[in-house]
Each structure stands twice: as C-alpha cells, then as structure tokens.
Amino acid sequence: MGRLLIIDGHAYAYRAFYAIKELRGGGGRPTNAIFGFIKILEKMAKSLNPGYLAVVWDGGLSAERLVLLPEYKAQRPEMPEDLRVQFDQIEEYLRAEGVCSLCRDGVEADDYIASLARQGARAGLEVVIASADKDFMQLVAPGIGLYNPNDKTNAIWTRAQVREKTGVEPEQIVDWLSLMGDAVDNIPGVRGVGPKTAAELLGKFGSNANLLARLGEVRPEGLRERLAAAAGVISRNGDMVRLRDDLPCEDVLVACQRRAPVREQLRELYGRWEFKGMLAALDAAAPAGQQVLI
C-alpha cells in the first residue's frame, strides 16, 4: 500500500532551533526553528518518498507515568520562548504543505506514535518512525523501522541495527531500559548497571522476569545484591518505558495520506518569514503556464 512516515515533531523542532543559532524575519520575529524544520521535512520526504506522512506532537505528560514516578521528566528546562512562539507557524506551514499534524491532550507523542505505527503496520503500510529517541527501538518489527537523524548513513533501522546498537533484540528494549534507567526522562535505573551490563544480563537470562527469578545465578555478589534491592524499581521502570500502542488511530491513518500543497499559502508564509530561497524554489517549480502571483 505504500509507506507511512511518522515524525517526532517536538524532537525535530528542538533540533532545528539549536542547529540554526539566529534567524529572524520581519519585526525581528525568530524564524530559525521554522526554517530548519521545513528543510528537515523536505529532505526526509524527498529521501523516503512516503505516501502517508504525519507529524506528531506532545499533548502533555502521561498521568499514569506521573503516578508511578512524580519526578518523571521534572528536570527538563522550560522551552525557550523564541522556540515556543514558532510552533503555531510551523503548524501553518504543515497545513499549507498538506501534511497531517497530530496531537492529543494528555497523550505523550511517543505513545501516539507507537499506536499510529502499529495501526499502519496492521494496515499493510511500511512504517518509518523518524526520531533519535531510543524508546522507539522497542517498536522495530517487520513493517516498522526507524530513521535516526544521528545515523549519517540514512539507513532505515531494522532488527539488525537495534541489535548492533544495544546488544539486545527489539523485544528486549523495555527490559534493557528498565535495568539501566533513562537520565533524559529522569528515570533512575539499577546503580552500576549501564548499557553493556544490561545487555549481558539479558543475553544470559532473556528477560527481567527470568533475571529476578534466578538472581542466585548472578555474579558478582555486589551486582546480585543491587539487583535484588532494585527489584521494585525494575518492575516500575517497565511500566514507565513501555510505550502505549493501543490508542485508536484508524480514522487518523486515513487523514495521513499526503495532500497537494496549497502554493498560494506557501508563498504567503515564505514571504512573511522572508525565506527568499524557498520562494524562488517554489516559483521555479510552478507548473508550466501557471502565473506566479506577486
């Protein structure tokens, strides 16, 4: 049926904002995140050529995760104001470009992306998730791959790349993250257990359930004692890092089909932001015989 590209919106907006240090349009309004986001989207769309495309945004922190760990993501700094004021304009661009933009109140983007990816795969689409977030490695399966912006090869990650990166299979990613924790999300893991040790434990025991049931086999003694003391933390972490993939997305999937861009709206936006190169490219790509509006 084609390919569904799902883009982690906030992650790429932040990436664009910090990649381009200073860019402003009329009145001194910041436009660096807008410019960078458009360039990123254009590059991915050209490279991956999806028939379905969605940008997914965070709708707030998960209430269930906050109950389990009130400190969840509490260390993250406030969004810079110069970035915040550009989000509505990025939304304007997506509407003009014919790209589906998705957000649900109280739903984290990761869970929305997981649900949309599973639904897309069930519908027979080849799903590609564009994000550097390691949580998404748990979703890799036949029909679902990852496009990691930090991978300069531009490869779509499958099971092989996940195994090479982590030392575990996609089905073990939740247990792997549960053991070592996630500093980015303020989720503490087992003291002294990093990626390599977590992978070695799962290589031997297969899962955290088996690991905790066979703690007597763990060496050295200090590691065994730390794992025993952190059994509750390991179990809680599994509920924290496991992505929810059961949100209803059937109607949303239909809306993700790519639509023709509205050129007049794009011209107005590029002019407002003073993106002269984009304006020139838009006019150069106008169909033969079509009048360019000034």
Domains and CATH numbers, the chain: 3-131+247-277 (3.40.50.1010), 170-241 (1.10.150.20)
Please write the tens of the pLDDT for every residue from 1-55.
Answer: 699 999 999 999 999 999 998 899 988 999 999 999 999 999 999 999 999 999 9
Please write the tens of the pLDDT for every residue from 202-250.
Answer: 999 999 999 999 999 999 999 999 999 999 999 999 999 999 999 988 7
Q: Average the pLDDT over each of 113-117, 154-158, 251-255 and give the range with the smallest value.
A: 251-255
Residue 288: is its pLDDT beyond 60? no
Q: Report how far apart, in Å, the C-alpha atoms of 115 and of each of 46, 198, 248 are.
A: 25, 27, 7
* pLDDT for residue 73: 96
For residues 50 and 48, what is the distance between their CA atoms, to the nearest angstrom? Answer: 6
Exposure string for 226-258, b = 16+ CB within 10 A, e = fewer = ebeebeebbebbbebbbbebebebeebbeebeb
Please write the tens of the pLDDT for every residue from 68-83.
Answer: 999 999 999 999 999 9
* pLDDT for residue 291: 44
